A = this chain, B = another copy of it.
Amino acid sequence: MGFTPRGFLGDKPAKAPPLFPFLLTFLLVGSRGDSNAMDNVSTERLAEESHRQDSANLLIFITLLTLTILTIWLFKHRRFRFLHETGLAMIYGVLVGVILRFGVHVPQNMSDVILGCAVNNSPATLLVNVSGRFYEYTLKGEVGRGKGHQVQDDEMLRKVTFDPEVFFNILLPPIIFHAGYSLKRRHFFRNIGSILAYAFVGTVISCFVIGLIMYGFVSFMKAVGQLGGDFFFTDCLFFGAIVSATDPVTVLAIFNELKVDVDLYALLFGESVLNDAVAIVLSSSIVAYQPAGDNSHSFEAMAMLKSFGVFLGVFSGSFALGVATGFMTFTKLRDFPLLETALFFLMSWSTFLLAEACGFTGVVAVLFCGITQAHYTFNNLSPDSQDRTKQLFELLNFLAENFIFSYMGLTLFSFQSHVFNPLFIFGAFLAVFLGRAANIYPLSFLLNLGRKNKIGSKFQHVMMFAGLRGAMTFALSIRDTATYARQMMFSTTLLIVFFTVWICGGGTTPMLSFMITVFFFRVGVDSDQDSPQNSAVLDGSQRRDTKHESAWPFRIWYNFDHNYLKPLLTHSGPPLTATLPTCCGPLARCLTSPQAYENEGRLFDDDSDSILNDATVSSMYADVTVSTDASGRTVNRSSGTRGLSDDCVDHDLALAEHEVAIRGTRLVLPVDDPVDAPRV
């Protein structure tokens, strides 16, 4: 669209002798055009030719996606489940990459003019004065070179290479928004403490453990002369940050098949969603930490502190912005689903753009915008729009994700500057494994001290396995491939993604299903304690303890959210007139939506799991019967009219959601037929 590339963070061209920047001498290096080809009509024809070529290249990707979809369908139809769809997309990408690399050779287009210029930077925009007319050229990116500093002349390979910013600005936002929008919010908020611990502390631990191990390896490689270029400690940390981002979507697909405790599932999914946000901000903080002027790359307390400040600032800024726009999307356009859906889509996109324009991280803002919109805005949408928005983002997510994974496969062969170093790769795999272990096990131990619903040791092993690296890791590593260090990182990251998606993503599902079948063990439920007060089970299925770690901050938040935010921002919940003190009567009447009164007597299952698109998952693996009972199904019939006691919040939030407050007296209504029974 109107985007110019963001430029290459950390782009460090070899030092050139400083010249007068006012006098650049451009030399034509290798134009093969002759004077006939230079004339107007030929230019038109060449431009048209180039356009056709572009269309053909995009067609390659569309064909790849189509093939992937057809194969996924075949797999589902025949009930093969040994490979996840993203793995499939990768395989097709690799095949096309091999063909393009070794099969097709399109020589460079004649319309390209190669200019030599001895300056020490490349401007983002060139204005070229051609016979009195000014033409604007935008920087597309660095062109890969073959051996011996020759320009790579394979037009095809150069053309199928996308601007890395496409991933950040076009493909990642829908994926991340979808992850936020489809988060199982009830269970997410119930486990918010553990999730934040894993996401923040865990990711930072993982980043530093990986960074330190890699620094050890790199130092060793330098000592034995295996290193072909600079590799600083900050590069190691950067590598640690980018490979610490785990992929939520594969987790979703795999864990849906495991009859895993919903809380633990929410824990894992929430962690993998949030750690993407942490990793992206962490990596940009590390880039900001890199000393600007000199190349010392030594440890500096001040820079470290500044970097930490950047991290906090960017993260909280993005968070605040996402939540704020999520709040703002207070739509009253219920009568016009098309307008409503369009508005919803535009607000989500503008969150991204606003964050980018303010210098925050758009992807992080979009994540929190998605979570907020799922929590508040979703309730205001008409049922038609609820379906539409879910389906729209599901489709966008599906397309973007498969595109990224097939592109990933393609780059394995089409990328020009791969640096595969066996020692580095070995070190990276080891570091990733140890980093994940240093994240999961100690944190789980510490969290178990405080949690009532313990994280079982088997579940911890599963969390180890589920640390797939996906789209975010790829997008972060391809963003900058200018230096030797970054190229080596990119190549290694590709291998890590391939390995985790193919082995863990493809392997764990049947393996764990097998384990379930053979040992009859239910992952993570080994710490079950059925407490007496929770035994009022209405359906015949097993009821597990959902006692969780929610402490007083959570309870305060819940009360505040339920009594004030929900009524203010949505048409559901108790009217503000009932929850605010009587002295605020007029204000409350003014702020309460008229529909809130209408909904007053209605059981508005506004926080049900309906937002999680179970339909997708069940349609994906329609043959697997999911028999999990969620706590949302159970209702304490014995509770008549009573206050919103701590016990109630603590015991079952789902129950509290169904409370309808009428004139200050809270009445817990039994839910006989939940609108949307959670399935996982």
Contact = CB atoms under 8 A, between A and B. Distances in A.
A583 to B, nearest CB: 34
Given A28-B23, A34-B21, A136-B142, A62 B122 contact: no
A28 B24 contact: yes
A3 to B, nearest CB: 5
Interface-centre pick from A10, A53, A127, A392 (highest chain B CB count, 10 A): A127
Copies in the complex: 2
Contact of A58 (B72, B341, B353, B619): B353
Contacts of A112: 123-127
A78 B447 CA distance: 56
Interface in A128-153: 128-143, 145, 149, 151
Nearest to A140: B136
B16 A131 contact: yes
A472 B125 CA distance: 30
Contacts of A292: 41
B111 A129 contact: no
A430 interface: no
Contacts of A159: 2
Given A26-B115, A113-B24, A395-B388, A18 B35 contact: yes
A44 interface: yes
Contacts of A40: 11-13, 120-121
Contact of A3 (B54, B121, B347, B395): B54
A338 interface: yes
A117 interface: yes
A280 B333 CA distance: 37
B134 A117 contact: no
A559 interface: no
- Which applies to chain A's interface (DSSP): helix, strand, loop or mixed? mixed
B113 A6 contact: no
Interface stretch (A63-71, A220-228, A254-262, A463-471): A63-71
Contacts of A12: 40
Interface stretch (A354-362, A597-605, A637-645): A354-362
Contacts of A347: 66
Interface in A317-355: 333, 335-339, 341-343, 345-347, 349-350, 353-354
Contacts of A163: 2
A80 B372 CA distance: 34
A391 interface: yes
A66 B335 contact: no
A298 interface: no
Contacts of A149: 132
Contacts of A34: 21
Interface string A149-176: 1010000001110110110001000000
B133 A13 contact: yes
A263 interface: no
Nearest to A112: B125
A202 B135 CA distance: 39
A560 interface: no
A34 B48 CA distance: 38
A529 interface: no
Contacts of A124: 43, 46-47, 50, 111-112
A170 B1 contact: yes
Contacts of A139: 135-137
A33 B120 CA distance: 13
Contact of A51 (B118, B350, B356): B356
A29 B129 contact: yes
A56 interface: yes
A100 interface: no
Contact of A62 (B23, B33, B353): B353
A616 interface: yes
Contacts of A359: 48, 52
A456 interface: no
Nearest to A45: B7
B130 A117 contact: yes
A361 to B, nearest CB: 12
B135 A342 contact: no
B113 A336 contact: no
Nearest to A362: B55
B336 A1 contact: no
A138 B135 contact: no
A45 to B, nearest CB: 9
A59 interface: yes
A63 B347 CA distance: 9
A38 B15 CA distance: 13
Given A55-B356, A143-B135, A122 B69 contact: no
A394 interface: yes
B356 A1 contact: no
B136 A59 contact: no
A151 B130 contact: no
A661 to B, nearest CB: 30
Interface-centre pick from A55, A345, A388, A620 (highest chain B CB count, 10 A): A55
Nearest to A337: B619
B335 A55 contact: no
Interface of A: 1-14, 16, 18, 20-29, 31, 33-35, 38-41, 43-44, 46-48, 50-59, 62-63, 65-66, 69-70, 72-73, 76-77, 109, 111-143, 145, 149, 151, 158-160, 162-163, 165-166, 170, 292-293, 333, 335-339, 341-343, 345-347, 349-350, 353-354, 356-359, 362, 388, 391-392, 394-395, 398-399, 616, 619-620, 622
9 contacts: A18-B35, A50-B124, A59-B354, A72-B339, A115-B127, A118-B131, A122-B133, A133-B142, A338-B619
Given A6-B51, A21-B38, A111-B125, 4 more contacts: A39-B121, A126-B128, A135-B142, A135-B143
